[in-house]
Amino acid sequence: MNANVAGLTARNCETVSRTLSFIAANRFERPTLVVDAEAVAAKYQALARGLGRARIHYAVKANPAAAILERLVQEGSNFDAASRTEIELCLAAGAAASRITFGNTIKRPSDIAFAHSIGITHFAADAREELDKLAAHAPGARICLRLIVEASEADWPLSRKFGCTPEKALKLMDYAAARGLLVEGLSFHVGSQTREPQMWQSTLQQVAQVWRQAHEAGHKLNLLNIGGGFPASYGSDMMPAEDYARAVMTQVGAHFGDVAEIMAEPGRGLVAEAGAIAAEVLLVSRKHDDDLHRWAYLDIGMFSGLAETMGEAIRYRITTDRDHETTGPCILAGPSCDSADVLYERKPYQLPLGLKGGDRVVIHSCGAYTSTYASVGFNGFPPLDVIVI
Ligand SMILES: *Cc1c(COP(=O)(O)O)cnc(C)c1O
């Protein structure tokens, strides 16, 4: 284990060490994500303790590796899927249809029909046209209307693309009911990687107001879906998952009282810290001889798993076998022939001056949103390899 890892808290260290030992003991032909299923299970249990009566529906898109889904089935998790393929992955892992929700607000009609045919009853929507599709292909479906939330403080906000305004949601409740759909409740997403529980406050306030207005309008809502947003540690110390979840639920209780049913859809918070990527430096160069900055090109980039470096939003912790050596500023880029494939340039990384082609780098907390974001073969680079241990 290298010096940087020793700097982490004992708690984080425990959860990453199996992954790091596995990486240290093996050579890989190409960039490889190693995920520790034990760490995922431990995180699931921590979140479950903190979330109390809220049901967990794992957001499958974060990492759909079969071994992870199977482990989560064993732990008692439910699942939130976004397409027929994700639903089929959950079924193949042993999840019953009753434990799967279809939470994407943008669904293909044939996917809705498929979900309905196998017994999935819970769907999300934020538009009339989507409700029409649901009424046609999943008659009698249970619906959560997704609200758009303002002023997300998340590192990876999801706010603008999804949801509708409170006024619109209230209209859609009538529209859905008139089409024989069961409006069960409201959903929202506070924004991915919402670092502090207090950042939920204003969102919960906005949603609670709509909840009250819905009741006043005669809609008996009984399901609150608080979505994802549970953060992972990317190097800095974070509140333990259980405490974070408990702090969120305390606020939910204050705003919503005794709602009949609550569900949460963690993705990143459940799997990110359980994985690390073993990658390699392909080239280190300077644009001119006295350039202060070096460019280090890795064998993994924006199109092969590290899409969340876009806008330098997620800053992964990166370690090398030379971390005891003197460091200097380094721009990091991927291997593809696309100039957008630069990972970190505005805020360069401090990396060892001796870094060179062939050196291994380990990219930490990579269990979420990496394998699913890898392209199928841009420039002939293969998708990210995944090993679940
Ligand atoms: C992606 C997604 C999630 C998971 O979000 P995280 O921030 O990774 O926890 C949850 N719910 C929905 C509807 C999503 O699209």
Task: Say what the pLDDT of residue 151 is.
Answer: 62
Residue 218 reports pLDDT greater than 60: yes
User: Using a 6 Å cutoff on CB, does residue 268 contact ligand 1?
Assistant: yes
- What pLDDT does residue 234 have? 95
What topology is assigned to 3-33+272-388 in CATH? Lyase, Ornithine Decarboxylase; Chain A, domain 1 (2.40.37)
Question: How many Å apart are CA 229 and CA 223, to the nearest integer?
Answer: 18
Ligand 1 pocket check: which of 43, 153, 162, 192 to mutate, most ligand atoms within 8 Å of Cβ?
A: 192
Which one is the CATH code of 103-266: 3.40.50.720, 3.65.10.10, 3.30.43.10, 3.20.20.10? 3.20.20.10
266 lines ligand 1 (CB under 6 A): yes
Using CA atoms, how far residue 123 sits from 183, 324, 371, in Å, is: 10, 52, 26
Predicted confidence band of residue 316 (pLDDT cuts 50, 70, 90): very high
The atom number, within ligand 1, closest to the CA of 265 reads 10
Q: Tokens 């027929």 identify what position?
A: 84
- Ligand 1 atom nearest to 146, measured from its CA: 13
User: What's the gap in Å between 148 CA and the centre of ligand 1?
Assistant: 14
> How many whole angstroms separate alpha carbon 282 and alpha carbon 299?
6
Integer Cα distance of 297 and 164 in angstroms: 42
* Helix residue ranges, H only, the chain: 3-6, 10-25, 37-51, 66-75, 84-92, 109-118, 128-137, 166-178, 201-216, 241-256, 268-271
Give pLDDT, residue 235: 87
Amino acid, res. 46: A
DSSP 307: G
Distance CA 15, CA 372 (A): 22
Task: Specify the DSSP class assigned to residue 191.
Answer: -
Rg (CA), the chain: 22
Ligand 1 binding pocket includes 57 (Cβ within 6 Å): no
CA of 124, closest atom in ligand 1: 13
Q: Is 164 among the catalytic positions? A: no
260 SS3 class: coil
Q: Are 280 and 360 a contacting pair, CB within 8 Å?
A: yes
How many Å lie between the centroid of ligand 1 and the Cα of residue 265?
A: 6
Domain boundaries, the chain: 3-33+272-388, 103-266
Ligand 1 pocket, mutate which of 100, 102, 158, 373 (most atoms under 8 A from CB): 158
Instruction: Please spell the DSSP secondary structure of 133-182, one letter per residue.
Output: HHHHHSTT-EEEEEBP------SB--TTTS-B-HHHHHHHHHHHHHTT-E
Three-state DSSP class for residue 279: strand
Mean pLDDT computed over every residue of the chain: 93
The one-letter amino acid code at 380 reads: G
Q: Please identify, by atom number, the ligand 1 atom nearest to the C-alpha of residue 228.
A: 9
Q: What is the pLDDT of residues 26-48, one digit of tens each?
A: 999 999 999 999 999 999 999 99
Q: Going by CA atoms, what residue is nearest to atom 1 of ligand 1?
A: 59
Would the pLDDT of 310 be above 80? yes
Does residue 265 have its Cβ closer than 6 Å to ligand 1?
Answer: yes
- Write down the pTM of the prediction: 0.94
pLDDT in tens, 76-86: 999 999 999 99
Task: Name the burial class of residue 253, with classes exposed (0-12), middle (13-18) and buried (19+) by CB atoms within 10 angstroms of its CB.
Answer: middle
Residue 327 · residue 296 · CB < 8 Å: no
pLDDT tens per residue across span 97-148? 999 999 999 999 999 999 999 999 999 999 999 999 999 999 999 999 999 9
Query: Is the confidence at residue 223, as pLDDT, over 70?
Result: yes
DSSP 331-374: EEE-SSS-TT-EEEEEEEEEEETT--TT-EEEE-S-SSSSGGGS
Which residue is catalytic, options 13, 164, 330, 337? 337
Which helix (H) or strand (E) segment holds residue 263: the answer is strand 261-264
Cβ of 273 less than 6 Å from ligand 1: no
Residues 61, 159: Cα–Cα separation, whole Å? 17
Question: Does the beta carbon of 231 lie inside 6 Å of ligand 1?
Answer: no
- For residue 364, pLDDT over 50 is answered with yes
* Residue 290, token pair as written in the block: 């006295």
How far apart (Å, rounded) are the C-alpha atoms in residues 306 and 316?
Answer: 9
